[in-house]
Amino acid sequence: MSRVRKAIFPVAGLGTRFLPATKAVPKELMPVVDRPVLQYAVEEARAAGIEEFIFVSSMGKTAMEDHFDRNLPLEETLEKKNKLELLQAVRDAAIPDGQLTMVRQHAPKGLGHAVWCARHAIGDEPFAVLLPDEVLHAEKPCLGQMVEAQEELGGSVIAVIEVEREDTKKYGVLDPVDALTDETDVIAAKGMIEKPAPDAAPSRLACIGRYVLPGEIMSELGKTGKGAGGEVQLTDAIASLIGRHPLHGVRFKGARYDCGSVLGFLEANMAFGLAREDVAPALMKAMRAHLFGAKG
């Protein structure tokens, strides 16, 4: 079985929940503290051993590939001004020569369709999918845990968390084989349903935008029709692979911020700001002043 070397980042969506901000600026480039949301996902993938990065993009979003390119005049200026920490940060953001592939999705027909658009870049290898607006933080990064599970178990592996029953309608939901305890970290599944109504949901285990999938899913996606919301759903193709490829959920235990929503984005900025030694004291002071109306 081949190692997971490639990752797809679907970034062709419209970001309507963030309008008007996303009218000209892709939501994936909105910053959490000082790094764009998309950079967190790229770094998570890198830490999991990913070597080829495939962005499924759309018209008007070319700033994304520029962000991951080298900017030599900028680097030269920072070097001359002895701003070495910034220089390092700028260099670290770059994806090395030849490791970034851009493909286009002409219209936002759904996540399943976006992944299918990258079929020629994937071939028949297993690969990862990361939805960049889900920013995850854990001691051991989420995708790294999933890649390890996939190397042991094969098939499809998705990251899940437990959500409130009334929220199942917002997620892809896992149908586990066995009854679960809180200690079950790797969960064998017999199905998966996209956005089920609370009373039809097979569990409260919701997918949070990280997948490791067999290359064969690409031909399955080519046959998958429109599903929930009139879009081609990745969930439907994953479900139809069961039987040929096992499906497992890996329970994610760290912090998760849905940066596709205004509230999640604000929370992420607060959490990552408070985790930064250079930002935290002043941020705490400002927050105290706003909360209690006191300065200082």
- Residues of the shown chain interacting with ligand UTP in the complex, contacts defined by CB under 6 A: 10-17, 56, 105, 108-111, 113-114, 131-133, 260
CB 179 within 8 A of CB 151: no
Task: For ligand UTP, give the closer residue by CB, 16 or 88.
Answer: 16
Q: Which residues of 210-236 are buried (b: 16+ CB within 10 A; e: fewer)?
A: bbbbbeebbebbeebeebeeebbbbbb
CB of 151: closest distance to ligand UTP in angstroms?
A: 26
Task: For ligand UTP, give the closer residue by CB, 123 or 229.
Answer: 229
CB 203 within 8 A of CB 175: yes
Task: For ligand UTP, give the closer residue by CB, 12 or 189.
Answer: 12
Task: For ligand UTP, give the closer residue by CB, 57 or 145.
Answer: 57
Rounded Cα gap, residues 45 and 132, in angstroms: 11
Neighbour tally for 53: CB within 10 Å: 22
CB of 10: closest distance to ligand UTP in angstroms?
A: 3
CB of 56: closest distance to ligand UTP in angstroms?
A: 5
Give the nearest residue (CB) to ligand UTP. Answer: 13
CB of 231: closest distance to ligand UTP in angstroms?
A: 7
Neighbour tally for 165: CB within 10 Å: 13
